[in-house]
Amino acid sequence: MGARDSTLGFALLGLLHQAQRSGYDLRKAFTATPLAHFRDSPGAIYPALRRLRRQGFIEPLTEERPSGRRRQAFQLTPAGRRAFLAWLQAAPTRDEVVRDMDALVMRLGFMSQALPASAVLSYVDALRAEVEAYLVELERFLATAGGQMPLSARLAFESGLEGFRACAGWATRARRRLREEARKEGRRE
């Protein structure tokens, strides 16, 4: 349990890792950032919070608010922090590269708030390796089957290819920046 949480669940853990927040705060956070394409619907967030609470990953923060307005804030429990860290540290798999790249990118997004640059670096590296391996497979497919594909199908396929190529290029550049950052961090300690 915990490993099979929904992406939304981990996104909530990530945000609550930064600071205690209420359901309403979390909704606003999703609306404000263009990155995570979650709906800010209460019908998703409140049930997800209840699930996390049932799993023992978050706990309500009994707040005394002298001035009226009802508000239920949550914070991570130690178990929640552990689950979040385990999720962050999991190596990206081929399967995730193929059908859940968004979640991989989101994971990266939360990473420096909890792990050192060296860990981020190895994550990006692993991601790049998986992407490049998949690229090889895609290119092989195009070489064998590309000839018979109708034009728009080939274009669609190529758009996917280009996306993964861009990802590989980005990862290479990101790696350089992270290596530098990791060096700085190393010196600081």
Partner DNA sequence: CCGTGCATGTAATTCGTTACATGATTCC
Partner DNA sequence: GGAATCATGTAACGAATTACATGCACGG
Give me the residues that bind DNA (CB under 7 A), please: 4-9, 22-25, 27, 38-39, 41-44, 46-51, 67-73
> Quick one: which of 3, 95, 16, 94 has its CA closest to 60?
16
Residue 130 token pair:
């998986």
Which of a second copy, DNA, none sits in contact with 178, Cβ below 5 to 8 A by type?
a second copy
Q: Residue 26 corresponds to which amino acid?
A: L
Measured from the CB atom, is 70 or 187 closer to DNA? 70
Nearer to a second copy, 72 or 93 (CB): 93
Q: What residues contact 171, with CB distance under 8 A and at least 6 apart?
A: 124, 125, 127, 128, 131
Query: Closest separation between CB of residue 5 and DNA, Å?
Result: 5
Residue 106 neighbours by CB distance under 10 Å: 19
Among DNA, a second copy, none, partner that 61 touches (CB below 5 to 8 angstroms by kind): none
Contact footprint for a second copy (CB under 8 A):
34-35, 37, 98-99, 105-106, 108-113, 117, 120, 124, 137-138, 141, 150-153, 155-160, 162-163, 165-167, 169-171, 174, 177-178, 181
CA pair distance 135, 90, nearest whole angstrom: 22
Maximum Cα–Cα distance across the chain? 71
Pick 16 or 171: Cβ nearer DNA: 16
8 binds, among a second copy, DNA, none (CB under 5 to 8 A by kind): DNA
Closest distance between a second copy and the C-beta of residue 19, in Å?
14
Judge contact between 88 and 111, C-beta under 8 A.
Answer: yes
